Structure formats: structure tokens, C-alpha cells
A and B are shown apart, each in its own frame.
Chain A
Amino acid sequence: MNEVLLKVDDVRKEFPTSSKEVVQAVAGVSLEVRKGETLGLVGETGCGKSSLARCMAHLYDVTSGSVWFEGRDITKLSRKAMRPLRRDVQVIFQDPYGSLNPRRRVGSIIGDPFSIHNIASGNERKKKVQELMELVGLNPEHYNRFPAEFSGGQRQRIGVARALALRPKLVICDEPVSALDVSIQAQIINLLSDLQQEFDLTYVFISHDLSVVRHVSDRIAVMYLGKIVELAPTGELFGQTRHPYTRALLSALPVADPDTADSREQIILGGDIPSATNPPAGCRFHTRCPKARLDCAAEEPVLEPVLDDRPEHRTACFYPLTVGEDLSTAVPDLRAS
């Protein structure tokens, strides 16, 4: 097993709102990212994965908890002290239209890391930028063009080039393909995985789309309302799903074979996602869980191995699923026994 590159230790991130309430975007998350792997982070919109990503990259200050990078607590670092570390931790953003400055030329945008950290300038920088452009599949002669002159997929490549300029150790990809057409998504994903092999990169890959995450990740963490509900190597997550929420997500995945699709259980979760300012008591998922029991509303489950799982596979649930359990017929029972 590889060394730990980034460690998230009981991180909470809260945002104040205009009224007295507070949005609990990240409500106590702990996980590790190991060198060379791709950790997938999946969940619905609003579950806090983007906030968690930004906490990991120290773009947000955490409300409590710590983030350790290569053994150093980066949450304590000042902006100035953080600067050299920024070469090692990079982010690829979701919105190919918003993450590039519309008034700057692409060559200048990609060259930013070189000028910010005083690594190269002038012609030397131009050369490096053009090499990067070729690397990600862009035409280096378009060096002087503006982002508006590129398609969505190409702009995302620009974002990738920019992130990779200084050969970072860790790249946090925040929904890198969610805003792209499906046919383009595959290209970018392939690009990312090729680059990972080439440069020995470590990825945190965030998405709401489980099928995409499955394709690229070694391990996957499933997030719901600010907490990790299940964390496992990809194969085990799909083959030995323990958490009802994970199972529900899986059941929504499209399947190519119509015969298999029919025979699959359909789990439709009732209700809406609860408000992040006032999360449900106990297990946050209990209000929508098909298997909820009374004690689910009383106490929060801890993320740990359940049943006979390996230590690698952790679930936060009092009534985890067994293999083959049919969740579609389950009925919640919150009465006192």
C-alpha cells in the first residue's frame, strides 16, 4: 500500500447565511488519499463534495479539523506559506466557461503558473506552454487565442494544461467533465488517465455521475449531506454495496442490456434532500432510507468496516445491506419497538 499523500482529519466547513442559520457543507469528514491512486468522490448536488475539495486544496479555510499534505497541516498555513505548496496541489475546475479568464489569451492563462512562481519567462515560458498544449491535445499555434474561440472540451483541456504546468503531485478534479457533452467526456477522461500514468499523478475525482467515477477510480467515497456514508475500493463498492444510499445511486445507473435492466431492482428514494442548515438527527439519511429504524434517528453511525468487510471498506450504517439483499421491498419502520 502506498504512502498517504493527503489526509483529511474530521474536517467541518460551515457557511453563515444572512439569517442566524449556518449551512453545514462538510460535517465531519475523514479520509486519506494515497500516492498514485485515483480517489473518486461521488454524491448528489449539494452534498458538499465541492466544498470538501476546496478545503483539501486550502481554497477555503476549514471551520474545524485539519488537512495534512505530506505530513504538514496545511490548514494552519498562511497564504504566503501556502504558496510553494500550490505547486504540488492543483485543481481542475468544473466550468470550462467560467474557470478561464475571458479577457486573457490562452497562452498567458496556461503560462500563469510559470510566472506566478517565477520559473520561466519570455520565450522559455512560451515554449513550455506550447509543449503543454500539445500534451493535452491542443494546437500550439493557438497560443494567442482567447477562450471564447475554443469549444467546451478544448477549454477543459486548457484547464488541464494549466493544472499540470508545474507537475503537481496531487490534482483535485472538481466535476471536470460534468459540463461537457457525453461524447467529449470520454476524451477528457482518457486524457486524464493517460496523463496520470505519464506523470505519476494522484487524483481526487469528484462527480455526481457514478458511472464516470467507476471508470476512473481506484477507491470511491460516497457523500451525503456533508458526510461520507461509504468508502471502498471500486470493485467492492459495486459488488458488495453496504449502504442503502449507495445502492439507490447504483440502481439509477443506466445499463446497456435491456434484459438485465428490467430485472434490476428499482430503488426510488422518497422525499427531497433535507436542508443543509438543519440536517436530520442521527443518521442524516434516515428520512429517506428504505430501511430506517428508530435508532437511526437517534444516533449517528460511525464510518467503519461492517459485517465481514476488510478495513479498506468502511460504511456508516447501523443496518448495512448484505449481498443480494433486495432493497426495493424494504419499508422504513421508525416506531418504537
Chain B
Amino acid sequence: MTAAIEMVDVIDEPQVIEGRSPFALALRRLRKDKVAMISLAVIVLIVLMAIFAPVFAAVTGHPPNEQYRDIGLTPDGLPRGPNGTFWLGTDDLGRDILVRIAYGARISLLVGVIATVITVVIGVVLGLAAGFLGGITDTLLARLIDVVLSVPFLLVAIALVSVTGPSLTVTVLVIGCFSWASVARIVRGQVLSLREREFVEAARSLGAGDSRIMFVDILPNVIAPVIVYTTLLIPVVIVTQATLSFLGLGLPPPTADWGGMISESQNYYTTAWWFILFPGLALLITTLAFNLFGDGVRDAFDPRADRT
């Protein structure tokens, strides 16, 4: 139905930025950030390494868990350093470190991404509910968040994993069960101030229910800090998983995993520097890349952070 009324003249008042969503703007800023882009490239390389781990095994001819006691170890039974056959050397059981690093990337990335995603989803939903619904829901959830944040994570994680036995699922669950609280707390804080805004009142006046307002109106306003937090959470999760693994609570042997490899290398650091160095480097580079990228993401969403 076209309007039969007279068109009111619309004086063209000065426009603000043309047609760009805040995300598009952030993306543009991110693309210009050289450090962030280089880190992203490194991350992509690591992901590729993880995906194509079997290629590493094929090219070198050494499967990750295969022990080469004859050619891989010295006559004294010690690991061999980097040479023509084993480009990054062997570990204490004569296994190819290069191939194990490639396979180890799978574990780190898998846990890093999955645990982070679970954490963030739970944290956002609970944070939204606590902040928006208020009342008894908020009281209960806020207390829960306090409890979770007060508990010494590493100690309890160790205890839990030692009780249930190490496995990928357990590691992911344990990390997820503790990390969601920080996300929830941040989201809750944001929601508390957002819910007084007039557009929330407007949504109510239109007849919108609680869930709709939470997910359609409030969520887009908290998503930016959530994204930043997520990218910065991934490296923390990766290091946590490696730490658990180092303490003997990672995956059961013989699975290749960076933390576990470093743990195994402890007894050999005087005799086989490559055993600790290469997995260590892999872990360090991965974490550094994610951290630098995360920093870039944060700056992209909030350029004020990089002041002069």
C-alpha cells in the first residue's frame, strides 16, 4: 500500500559513515595491522601443519608413534640429534620428533578451539541470563561465578583428572567448566548496564519477550568484547592443556602432544637439547601467534587502546 499522503521533504542532513557495520570497520582496521596479519599467517600455517600431519609422516616415512630403537637411538639408548633421517631428532623412544610435533598440533588446536567455544557459549548464555533476568537467577548465578572463580583451578583440575583418568574429553570439560565464569562475569557486567537503555524499553513496548530481547537486542551489543576475549582465551587454553599434559594428566601415551613431549624430555635435557627445544618452540610460537593476533583483534575493535 503506497502512501497517499504528501511526502514530507527530507532535508539531507550530514551523514555519518556510509553503510559499514562496526564489524566491517574492525575488520578493515585488522587488515591494516601488520603484526596481526603476520600472526594470522603463522596460525594458518600451524593449522595446515595439523591438518597435513599425515603428510609429514608420509614424507619422512616415520609414523608418529613408531619407535625406531635401532636407527633412532644411539648405541647407549639415548635420543639422536637432528640428522638426515630425523630432521628434528628423536625422542627417548626413538620416535620422529618432527612428525610428533605435527600431530601434537592437532591436539593443541583441537582442545584450544573446542574448549574455548564451549566456554564462551556457556559463559555468554549464563552471563546474559544473570544480567538481564536479574532477581533470583542473577543471585544464584553470580554466587556460582564467585565460587568457580575462587577455586584454585590447577589444583582442582589435577585432582579431577587424576580421579577420572586422562582423556581428551575430560581435559576439554575440565577447562570448560572453569573458564566460563570469567566470560559470564564480563558479559553480565555489560548486560547490567545495557538493560537500562531505551531501546530495551522500546522492545518491551513492542511486546518482545525476555529471550528475544536477550538474544536479538542485547547480544549484538556484547558480542564485540566477547570476540576479543575469545581470541585471547584460545592461547590460555592451549597452555593450560599443555600444562596438564606436562603434569602427566594429558592424553594417555603414546599419543603425541606437546606438553607430554616436554614432560618426557625432562630427564634428557642435559643430553638431548632438541627434545625439549623443538616441542617447546612449537608451543611458544603457537601461543605467541594467538596472543599477538588477539591483541590485534582487540585493537581493531577498540582503537582507543593504542593511544599516543
Contact = CB atoms under 8 A, between A and B. Distances in A.
B14 interface: yes
Contact of B217 (A87, A104, A151): A104
A113 interface: yes
A117 B205 CA distance: 12
Interface stretch (A7-15, A36-44, A68-76, A88-96): A88-96
Given A116-B207, A145-B19, A148-B16, A194 B8 contact: yes
Given A101-B199, A138-B10, A194 B5 contact: yes
B19 A83 contact: no
Contacts of A90: 205-206
A95 B198 contact: yes
A110 to B, nearest CB: 11
Nearest to B17: A149
B5 A195 contact: yes
Contacts of B221: 101-103
Interface residues of A, number: 51
Contacts of A146: 21-22
Nearest to A83: B207
Contact of A153 (B13, B205, B208): B13
Interface string B1-29: 11111111111011111110110000000
Interface in A133-154: 134-135, 137-139, 144-146, 148-154
Q: Is the interface of A mostly helix, strand, loop or mixed?
A: helix
A98 B15 contact: no
B146 interface: no
A198 B2 contact: no
Given A149-B19, A190-B8, A86 B207 contact: yes
A145 B5 CA distance: 25
B218 to A, nearest CB: 9
Contacts of A183: 11
A134 B3 contact: yes
B10 A154 contact: yes
Q: For B204, B209, B220, which residue has the most chain A Cβ atoms within 10 angstroms?
A: B204
A82 B207 contact: yes
Contacts of B208: 112, 116
Contacts of A101: 199, 203, 217, 220-221
B207 A187 contact: no
B4 A149 contact: no
A116 B213 CA distance: 10
A187 B3 contact: no
A83 B208 CA distance: 8
Interface in B162-218: 197-199, 201-209, 212, 216-217
Contacts of A116: 206-208, 212
Given A131-B1, A153-B13, A187-B9, A93 B202 contact: yes
Contacts of A237: none
Contacts of B1: 131
A151 B216 CA distance: 24
Nearest to A80: B209
B286 to A, nearest CB: 33
Contacts of B22: 103, 146
A28 to B, nearest CB: 24
A149 B15 contact: yes
A159 B199 CA distance: 10
- Chain A to chain B: the 10 pairs with minimum beta-carbon distance, closest first: A86-B207, A151-B13, A103-B220, A98-B198, A101-B199, A99-B198, A135-B3, A91-B205, A83-B207, A194-B5
Interface of B: 1-11, 13-19, 21-22, 197-199, 201-209, 212, 216-217, 220-221, 223
Interface of A: 57, 59, 79, 82-84, 86-87, 90-91, 93, 95, 98-105, 112-113, 116-117, 131, 134-135, 137-139, 144-146, 148-154, 159, 162, 183-184, 187, 190-191, 194-195, 197-198
